[in-house]
Amino acid sequence: MAKITAAEVGKLRKATGAGMMDCKKALVEAEGDFDKAIDILRKKGQKVAAKRADRESSEGVAAAKVNDDNTAGVAIVLGCETDFVGKNESFVALAKDFANLAIGYNTKEEFLAADFGGITVAEKLTEQTGVIGEKIDLKAFEKLEAAYVGSYVHINKIAAVVGLSAKVDNAETLAKDLAMQVASMGATTLSYKDFDPAYVASETEARIAAIEKDNEELERLGKTLKNVPQYISMSQLTDEVMAKAEEDAKAQLAAEGKPEKIWDRILPGKMERFVSDNTTLDKEQCLLDQDFIKDEKSTVAKYVASYGDVEVTGFKRVSLG
């Protein structure tokens, strides 16, 4: 039997991340052959991966990386099974190493085939599954390119990258704030203009039905009823709809006995409230139409406009959920 030294065990552990005893056993089985020992550990990883393939990797680490000239960004999620592993320093470091490498690739498939210390990323995932004893996989990979890209990561659970049309003054602050907005509020698209009319119609029907059902219970309990909107997106608020809303507002003011000479001071607020009440879908899903998290009196679109001639060209968001 070959004599296995502590230095050899340490070298194998550093190369694979496996535990001391696993490294020693592999070296003993390989009779001191370093490369053979690595192969033994990888085969162990393959066996563990096969056994745990149907497990749910609901924990892990979200990470983001932007290249040196801020023209490309990537966001990934390295998944595992337990929060204990997800918070482990070496696991977090591995996720960040993966993100640093991922910035050089355009697709998840390309990245999984990329070289990572002499093996592919996919092989490294299998190896680490054997080392850790949990299913380890790449749950998400999103790449974004733009004239200027910024990122934000929220406690290793959510990562977002945002692209701008130009590198304006303080672009770093703008891009980070927007990425924080995306991470926090979970927008799915840039603007209400991106919505498919059929989706808006279906969502309107579903939301109205849900509120009316809630109101039945609230009425039974003698509580204040929720407002039932006619619409849920700016895409529905045509000129005709807005004209009708203004007529209704004027009729209400007249019924309340408000002098017509002061209507001009009251109407803007009523129309603003009408739009707010009837654009709930936009505020939930459209980045530019959301209330800005750092100033709820402003929308994201207004915040972007304060930086001058620049637009948001796109964004990507990944999370453990």
Convert the pLDDT of each residue in 28-78 to its tens digit.
888 778 878 877 777 776 666 566 666 677 899 999 999 999 999 999 999
SS (H, E, C) 247-307: HHHHHHHHHCCCCHHHHHHHHHHHHHHHHHHCCHHHHHHEHHHCEECCEEEEEHHHHHHCC
pLDDT of residue 306: 95
SS (H, E, C) the chain: CCCCCHHHHHHHHHHHCCCHHHHHHHHHHCCCCHHHHHHHHHHHHHHHHHHCCCCCCCEEEEEEEECCCCCEEEEEEEEECCHHHHCCHHHHHHHHHHHHHHCCCCCHHHHHCCEECCEEHHHHHHHHHHHHCCCCEEEEEEEEECCEEEEEEECCCEEEEEEECCCCCCHHHHHHHHHHHHHHHCCCECCHHHCCHHHHHHHHHHHHHHHHHHHHHHHHCCCCCCCCCCCCCHHHCCHHHHHHHHHHHHHHHHHCCCCHHHHHHHHHHHHHHHHHHCCHHHHHHEHHHCEECCEEEEEHHHHHHCCCCCCEEEEEEEECC
Task: For residues 155-166, give the mean pLDDT.
Answer: 96
pLDDT of residue 22: 76
- Which tens digit of pLDDT belongs to each residue from 271-301? 999 999 999 999 999 999 999 999 988 999 9
pLDDT of residue 32: 79
pLDDT of residue 39: 76
Classify domain 59-187 at the CATH class level. alpha beta
Structure tokens that stand for 221 in this block: 């309990």
pLDDT higher than threshold 70 for residue 136: yes
End-to-end CA distance of the chain: 49
pLDDT higher than threshold 90 for residue 164: yes
Sequence ranges of the domains in the chain: 6-51, 59-187, 193-300
Query: How far, in Å, CA of 113 to CA of 121, rounded?
Result: 6
Query: How far, in Å, CA of 86 to CA of 60, rounded?
Result: 4
CATH topology of 6-51 equal to that of 59-187?
no
Which residues lie across from 80 on neighbouring strands? 59
Query: How far, in Å, CA of 96 to CA of 91, rounded?
Result: 9
Name the pLDDT band for 13 (thresholds 50, 70, 90).
confident
Mean pLDDT of the chain: 90
Q: Which fold has domain 6-51?
A: Helicase, Ruva Protein; domain 3 (1.10.8)
pLDDT exceeding 90 applies to what percent of the chain? Answer: 70
- Which tens digit of pLDDT belongs to each residue from 166-183? 999 999 999 999 999 999
Which residues lie across from 122 on neighbouring strands? none
pLDDT higher than threshold 90 for residue 154: yes
pLDDT of residue 175: 97
pLDDT higher than threshold 70 for residue 19: no
User: Contact, 234 vs 289, CB < 8 A?
Assistant: yes
Task: Name the pTM for this structure.
Answer: 0.78
Task: For residues 80-100, give the mean pLDDT.
Answer: 93
pLDDT of residue 132: 79
Task: For residues 259-281, give the mean pLDDT.
Answer: 92
pLDDT of residue 117: 86
Nearest residue to 283 via CA among 217, 229, 238? 229
